[in-house]
Amino acid sequence: MLGVALIGAGFIAEYHLAALRRLPGVALRAVVSRDAAKARACADRFAIAEAGDSLAPLLARGDVQAVVVATPDDTHEAVATACLEAGKAVLLQKPMATDSAACRRMIATAARTGSDLQVSWMHRHFEEVEEARAWIAQGAIGEVTTIRLRNATPGPDWGAWFFQTARVGGGVVLQLGAHGIDLVEHLFGPIAAVSARTATLRPRRRLASGEEVAVGNPDSAWATYRLADGIVVSHEMSMIEAAGCDRFRMEIYGTEGTLWLRSERGRLAAFAPRRLGARGWFAPTLPEAPLGERHHRSWIAGLTGGATEDTALAGLRGLLVAEAIARSAAAVGRETVVEPA
């Protein structure tokens, strides 16, 4: 049995716990949150015995080998570092941190302690993403030339910290765009150069709690990326959309066809005459695994012996691209090179 605990009882906690509890060989041991009542309520929903507001007792437990860190972004480094030092494997919610320097320090800590450090890239594990990757690899759409990507939601109106520059400077780029940046690099390789524009188009917003907050960081961003191999990507990010996007929408254009993910044509749609033998749109039937199952199975498999992708390096890459977006936006759009990891 692998003992797992969750640190942070916010919105994303449900995603991790619902998936982990279905996995054989995993025992959910505890939930920790700064708010003890939230920790208790969350633990009760998943029949987890232990709940509390203190990290120390958790780190001392011998029957907890791995933790999911899902606290606010600006606390990631402190929490993850403590866990790594205590010998726990860590799955860290994205964005990895609020700047690339913190990412580098955590990676160094993991290397020194020998504790496993991963970043949680849930989008990679969606069935439509895996299926699209397979179609591209088979040459179904020829050579990929351009990508069109949007990450948009009405906004994370369940917490004030999302909108505070002092806590998370990147705004929509780190909150939503990080998913898209990782998808692009995961599927198509490193982003070499960035041109970007950012804006705060809704300067005040009302949270779900009724509280009205000032928005200090960008809620909208537009970037184009040049990849190492010549592909051009356009990437929109928005936290002020009333409706339209279901987490992300990705359009992949190739010399011989087109793939759309999460469009109105279905979770995946392909115009791929070369593969299908006919012109037209095809929406493959995808497996309907519960959300997060493939993701967490992959994490657990990696911890218990299997090979995994280096998702911590991808965590650092996400910050480096976000920092390039900020630099280009500050230079009113002038293209800037992404710093190497």
Give the integer Cα–Cα distance in Å for 250 and 108. 34
Q: Where in 288-327 is the site for a second copy (CB under 8 A)?
A: none
State the Cα–Cα distance between residues 80 and 35, nearest whole angstrom. Answer: 18
End-to-end CA distance of the chain: 35
Q: Which two tokens stand for residue 257?
A: 């066809």
> Rule CB under 8 A: which of 193-222 touch a second copy?
195, 197, 199, 201-202, 220, 222
Interface residue with a second copy among 257, 292, 315, 318 (CB under 8 A) is 257
* Binding test (CB under 8 A) with a second copy, winner from 75, 165, 258, 298: 258
User: Rule CB under 8 A: is residue 133 a binding residue for a second copy?
Assistant: no
Could you tell me which residues come within 8 angstroms of residue 72 by beta carbon, excluding any fewer than 6 positions away? 8, 10, 159, 161, 167, 168
Site string for a second copy, 159-198 (x = CB under 8 A): ------------------------------------x-x-
DSSP SS3 for 310: coil
Q: With binding defined as CB under 8 A, does residue 49 bind a second copy?
A: no
CA-based nearest residue to 61, from 39, 33, 31 = 31
- Residue 201 or 301 with smaller CB distance to a second copy: 201
Q: Provide φ and ψ at 35, rounded to 5°.
A: -105, 105
Q: Which amino acid is at 225?
A: Y
Burial per residue of 307-318, b for 16 or more beta-carbon CB atoms within 10 angstroms, e otherwise = eeeebbbbbbbb
Map the footprint of a second copy across residues 3-32, applying CB under 8 A: 22
The yes or no reply on residue 253 touching a second copy (CB under 8 A) is: yes
Which CB atom, from 76 or from 262, has the smaller least distance to a second copy? 262
Closer of 161 and 281 to a second copy (Cβ) = 281
Q: How far is the CB of 38 from a second copy (least distance, A)?
A: 17
- The CA R_g of the chain, rounded to the nearest whole Å, is 20
- 28: phi then psi, degrees, rounded to nearest 5: -80, 120
Which of 25, 114, 280, 340 lies at the binding interface for a second copy (CB under 8 A)? 280
Looking at the Cβ atoms of 98 and 220, the one nearer to a second copy is 220
Give the Cα-Cα-Cα angle 308, 75, 213 (nearest 5 degrees).
120
Q: Kindly tell me which residue out of 2, 52, 105, 281 binds a second copy, with binding defined by CB under 8 A.
A: 281
Among 87, 203, 230, 306, binds a second copy (CB under 8 A): 230
Q: Is 275 in the site for a second copy (CB under 8 A)?
A: yes
Q: What gap in Å lies between CA 224 and CA 222, rounded to an integer? A: 7
Q: If we measure between CA atoms, which residue out of 263, 16, 274, 231 comes closest to residue 135? A: 274
2 is a contact residue toward a second copy (CB under 8 A): no
Contact 96, 286 (CB under 8 A): no
d(CA 276, CA 148): 23
Residue 257 or residue 315: which is nearer to a second copy going by CB? Answer: 257
Among 283, 289, 313, 341, binds a second copy (CB under 8 A): 283
Residues that bind a second copy (CB under 8 A): 22, 45, 47, 141, 145-146, 148, 150, 195, 197, 199, 201-202, 220, 222, 224, 230, 232, 234, 236, 238, 240-244, 251, 253-258, 260, 263-266, 271, 275-285, 328, 331-335
